[in-house]
Structure 1
């Protein structure tokens, strides 16, 4: 991470996000946590938002080793909670430079088996929350004439199977929302992009490493023949949050080991 400058024989490491303020939703664990830690290690002050209090408190202690970071516990399926969280962050830091809409859930069900409650829940977390977070932070980003919004979508936004309809629909909607925000905010400029991971090795998927049949299935489906590492996703999120990605907006970067192109 970062890059190096030489001055009088001494190597200095330049932080990618020095003095920036970032929000990472769903930042208490998994990919969100990895992105938050990466940002903090690159000099960003990070606000993580998550409904999981215990995990959030543990993660914030790790983040504080690198930067001035805060944890806000909130149910982001409720718009009022989103507004309160953003206002709290603005009051604390005075700025918001980067928003990562990472929070998401998956509900497996046959295409004709989703209940109304499940449909509303997956839409509220995966799509509605991302929209209202983006809407709220844009108010300040427009005043700053600067901002980065990164939406964590999924490779399933562009492919389908029998049991992920709700997840695929919401993630495809998130990609479409990315494009609309990108076009609308480009002249400011606020850069808006999406990242679509494939099979990622997280604490929730690591048990599959001990399942030979599942790993064989993965190798047959994914050309690289392995899980994507959380840090690999975080590295893309860092690139999109940094000045190195200037000129890129409205894009959906798929990191899946070749899964989508091989289907």
Structure 2
């Protein structure tokens, strides 16, 4: 009986940016707990390869290759899933990118790209999915924030700005949509070994700094985010709303 709080059997989850890294790990974890998953991304070949791996493991998987940074594409993509695959019970807004540069030299086009990918996509897909969830009176939305929602580090100020916005958009979504039976929360990963962070993982100086800075003394592995996603997707979190859950090895305790 206790495990029913974390059982996702019969639920359908859309995970954006899920052909690799954190998004793929979360999709795999949700599927392992009973959910059917819809993978999203812009590279169709990578999406199909990711779906094939999950299907080979016995999971129920669909692919939806729309551009989450385009409002009309997001609306149409979500509508197509709802019509042809089925109702979306869980949304994981994971699509994101990083670009590093001293702030005084930060290119304006990269600023716009970060805004579109990291925060506008969260709004566009979140709104599109919520419009279907609200009439049903239920739904789970999980936005992927970051330790950079709380911290700052040289060279990534625009990324920090977008992830701070994700945290507050999560609160705003809760303020507007909790009354309709939706739970909207965020997961804020610390420093994880992902393709996005590979340059930092491969940098001995940075890795040494991180291990000293993080109470757990190491990088995170993407599989360690799955438990938080399962909790926020299932009945166990039925009265958790507008919350940002930091999964960071304790780094935000040492401000």
What's the TM-score once normalised by structure 1's chain length? 0.90
Partner of residue 227, structure 2: 235
Shift of 1:216: 2.3
Partner of residue 28, structure 2: 37
Shift of 1:74: 2.5
Secondary structure of the 1:128 match is helix
Shift of 1:213: 3.7
Partner of residue 79, structure 1: 71
Contact 2:13 2:91 in 1 (8 A): yes
Looking at structure 2, the residues matched to 195 and 208 of structure 1 have their Cα atoms a distance apart, in angstroms, of: 21
Contact 2:211 2:219 in 1 (8 A): no
Q: Deviations over 1:218-252 (max 9, x none)?
A: 22111110111211112101110010111110011
Partner of residue 178, structure 1: 170
Matched, 1:21 2:12: yes
Shift of 1:208: 5.8
Number of equivalent positions:
254
Partner of residue 134 from structure 1, selected from 126, 129, 134: 126
Partner of residue 119, structure 1: 111
Shift of 1:211: 5.3
Higher strand content, 1 or 2: 1
Shift of 1:96: 0.9
Structure 2: any 5+ residue segments left out of the alignment? Answer: none
Radius of gyration: which is bigger?
1
Partner of residue 262, structure 1: 254
Looking at structure 1, the residues matched to 97 and 161 of structure 2 have their Cα atoms a distance apart, in angstroms, of: 12
Secondary structure of the 2:105 match is coil
Contact 1:48 1:70 in 2 (8 A): yes
Higher relative contact order (CA closer than 8 Å, sequence separation 6+): 2
Matched, 1:53 2:63: no
Looking at structure 2, the residues matched to 154 and 32 of structure 1 have their Cα atoms a distance apart, in angstroms, of: 14
